[in-house]
Each structure stands twice: as C-alpha cells, then as structure tokens.
Amino acid sequence: MSVAENFRSIRRELGGAIKLVAVTKNHGVETMREAIDAGATDIGENRIQEAAEKFKTLDRAVIRHLIGHLQTNKVKQAVKLFDLIQSVDSEHLAAALDKAAAASGKVQEILIQVNLAREVQKSGVLLEDLDGLIKFVDAAENLRLRGLMMIAPNFAEVEECRPLFRQMRKLFDELKISREGFDYLSMGMTHDYKIAVEEGANVVRVGTAIFGERLY
Ligand SMILES: *Cc1c(COP(=O)(O)O)cnc(C)c1O
C-alpha cells in the first residue's frame, strides 16, 4: 500500500477523537509531503537538524511535534521549529526552554515525558519526580503544559505494555481534574498503538505503519 493509503487507513481506524502524529524521521521530504497530501495534520520528528531542513521546504501549515530527546544546547532551534515539544523530562531542560521561549516571544507548548517503566538510559522523568517537574513548569511563564507522553518498553510480548498504558491514563486523568489545557496523552507507536488507544491514549505517534521501515 502507498503512504497515502496507509495513512488514511490508520486515520479511519482511529476515528475523529485521536490525534495521529505521522512520524517522518529518517524519511525524505517527498515522503513527508505524501502524508500531508493524504491529510496528515501533525508531523513528528526526533532530531533538530533533520527537522530544520525538512520543515523549511513545507509550504503548508502542519502542527510540528518534537518527539525525540532534546539537549539544552538546541532549545533555541527547537522553540523556533516546533509547536509541541513532547519530550520535556527535567527541570534543567524546562528552564532552558522557558528562557528560549521568552527570548522568541513565544509560549511554548510542551508535554512531560514519563519514564514509567524506569528503564535505565531512557529519557523521561521518573514518577517520583513528576510532581516537582510539573510545579516547575507551572511556574515557568513561557511554557504551557498540555499533557503527558510515554514510550513503552520493547517487550517481547506487546500485551505487556497494557498495564503501563493503563497506569498512564490514570495518572493523566488525576492531573487533568485540576488543570486547564491538559489535553494530550501521547502514547503508542506502530507496534503498540492499538493497545495504547484501548487504554486511553488520545495522541499516537506512528511512523513505520505509515511509511514502512526506516533506512539508517
Ligand atoms: C520513531 C518514534 C516513533 C514512531 O515509531 P514507529 O515504530 O515507526 O511507529 C514514535 N515515538 C517516538 C518517540 C519515536 O522516536
């Protein structure tokens, strides 16, 4: 199937209430364009340099998501390039982003990435540090917290993701009660998005199922 057919089929399957972020990392501009022509409204990239080069060729408004780890020395570019930065996971990074956003006269929308499975060497804030990070972001004048993001571990059995997705949804619901604009729970990729959606994700980030395998 073509990129357009893949995109439309997943779009239909998800229904209207779920945001589908088409993850174009490692694919060329033409491929990105095919997805946008097929109706993609949200594009996800995980590297600043690659995104900068691809986005400058775009002539149509799409919502741009940073889904990969962000280093503090790239925050200025990130603030210029992205509408939603999904991978905020430390006060250090939040502080740098706040400063960069202030300098560009922008309120930067972000998600906090949670390392719920406590995977060593993986990005994301640990659960015990989440409240502190939320307080820090709330106090940052140029950041706006829109929700949470999680990347599930690569289990041998994808069903093993389910309890984690469920726990994230519970956490999200509890936080949402007292917060305004706290709308997005981003979880689920090609191999696990169906389970993520069953457990309450309202943003999924899908690359391979739309574009095929990435060439590295
Ligand atoms: C690459 C990537 C995706 C998409 O992965 P697929 O398995 O190709 O769907 C989703 N989220 C993040 C954070 C990624 O880095």
CATH 3.30.1330.10 fits 3-211, yes or no: no
What pLDDT does residue 53 have? 96
Task: Determine the pLDDT at residue 59.
Answer: 84
Handedness of CA 119, 216, 196, 42 (dihedral sign): positive
pLDDT at 133: 98
CB of residue 70 inside a 6 A radius of ligand 1: no
The three-state DSSP-derived secondary structure of the chain is CCHHHHHHHHHHHHCCCCEEEEECCCCCHHHHHHHHHCCCCEEEECCHHHHHHHHCCCCCCCEEEECCCCCHHHHHHHHHHCCEEEEECCHHHHHHHHHHHHHCCCCEEEEEEECCCCCCCCCCECHHHHHHHHHHHHHCCCEEEEEEEECCCCCCCHHHHHHHHHHHHHHHHHHHHCCCCCCEEEECCCCCHHHHHHCCCCEEEECHHHHCCCCC
Ligand 1 contacts CB of residue 152 (under 6 A): no
Ligand 1 binding pocket includes 207 (Cβ within 6 Å) = yes
The stretches in the chain having pLDDT less than 70 are: none
67 lines ligand 1 (CB under 6 A): yes
Ligand 1 center from residue 202 Cα (angstroms): 16
CA of 134 to the centre of ligand 1 (A): 25
Q: Describe the crossing of helices 3-14 and 29-37 by its angle, rounded to 10 degrees.
A: 50
From ligand 1's centre to the CA of 100, what distance in Å? 26
Cβ of 68 below 6 Å from ligand 1: yes
Ligand 1, atom nearest to 191 Cα:
7
Sort strands 84-88 and 143-150 into parallel, antiparallel or unpaired.
unpaired
Amino acid 60: pLDDT = 85
pLDDT tens by residue, 134-160: 999 999 999 999 999 999 999 999 999
Question: Is the CB of 35 within 6 Å of ligand 1?
Answer: no
| Contact status, residue 50 vs residue 78, Cβ threshold 8 Å | no
Q: Answer yes or no: is the C-beta of 154 below 6 A from any ligand 1 atom.
A: no
Q: Which protein residue has the closest C-alpha to ligand 1 atom 12?
A: 67
Give the pLDDT confidence score for residue 184 in this predicted structure.
98
- Measured in whole angstroms, how far is the alpha carbon of residue 51 from the centre of its chain? 14
Q: How many whole angstroms from 185 Cα to the centroid of ligand 1?
A: 15
> Is the C-beta atom of 190 inside 6 A of ligand 1?
yes
